[in-house]
Chain A
């Protein structure tokens, strides 16, 4: 079974600054995937970034990067140069990749507020 922990219920960041959203996970699988999704106030879930457990390099997608520390079981999301439009809920999620049918398991989310 997988478990995701997001310890920051809410975060504030100044516009144009970088922010790190924490995510730790627990799994007994050797092969797994880690995901971050953004949920703005309109409600949709937007895929941001993916990291595979065997990927040696940290994933990056534009202003998003995933700081993956396997030994610490952490997969923090770093958003650089924050914009007002980044204000949203952010969910860390994972799924095991060994059996093929495991669904996404989500954390409780972090609400990010970007201040002008």
Chain B
């Protein structure tokens, strides 16, 4: 158990819908990262937050957004969902914004029908 929690574990929804994925980092970790794992694209970095502020952005679509709250949990919002958004979404956390190892949560498996 990495100490990173993610909810829900599984999510099935329809095209055009909006969903919110939730992540709680390990105790003491200030940095949260979101990754998407799909069969065709592999593991891709989406976005990073550090202590409530956006720190780095990767291949995140405009339909996706995220935030980190004062209690350090983070949410990833996916809207206008398409079939291609079906993937495993991981949250990871680390103590600081750089150098430290990132520990991953169990992931949220999203299926868009």
Q: Return the CB mask of B24-66 against A: 1 if under 8 Å, else 0.
A: 0000000001010000001101001000000110100000000
Given A43-B109, A47-B104, answer yes or no on A103-B42 (Cβ-Cβ < 8 Å): no
Bound: A43/B9 CA distance, A: 10
Are A44 and B106 in contact, with the CB atoms below 8 A? yes
Collect the chain B residues with CB atoms within 8 Å of residue A99's CB.
98
Bound: A41/B104 CA distance, A: 15
- Main secondary structure on B side of the interface with A: strand
Are A43 and B106 in contact, with the CB atoms below 8 A? yes
Q: Return the CB mask of A38-50 against B: 1 if under 8 Å, else 0.
A: 0000111111001
Count chain A residues whose beta carbon lies closer than 8 angstroms to a beta carbon of B.
24
Q: Which of A62-70, A74-82, A104-112 contacts B (4 or more CB under 8 A)?
A: A104-112
Collect the chain B residues with CB atoms within 8 Å of residue A46's CB.
2, 104
Are A100 and B98 in contact, with the CB atoms below 8 A? yes
Those of B59-110 within 8 Å (CB) of chain A: 88, 90, 92, 97-99, 101-107, 109
Bound: A33/B94 CA distance, A: 14
A91 sits at the interface (CB 8 A): yes
Count chain B residues whose beta carbon lies closer than 8 angstroms to a beta carbon of A.
24
- What's the minimum C-beta distance from B11 to chain A, rounded to whole angstroms? 14
Are A47 and B106 in contact, with the CB atoms below 8 A? no
Are A106 and B43 in contact, with the CB atoms below 8 A? yes
Are A47 and B98 in contact, with the CB atoms below 8 A? no
Are B56 and A103 in contact, with the CB atoms below 8 A? yes
- What's the minimum C-beta distance from A36 to chain B, rounded to whole angstroms? 11
Are A103 and B107 in contact, with the CB atoms below 8 A? no
Residues of A within 8 A of B (CB): 33, 35, 37, 42-47, 50, 91, 93, 97, 99-109
Residues of B within 8 A of A (CB): 2, 33, 35, 42-43, 45, 48, 55-56, 58, 88, 90, 92, 97-99, 101-107, 109
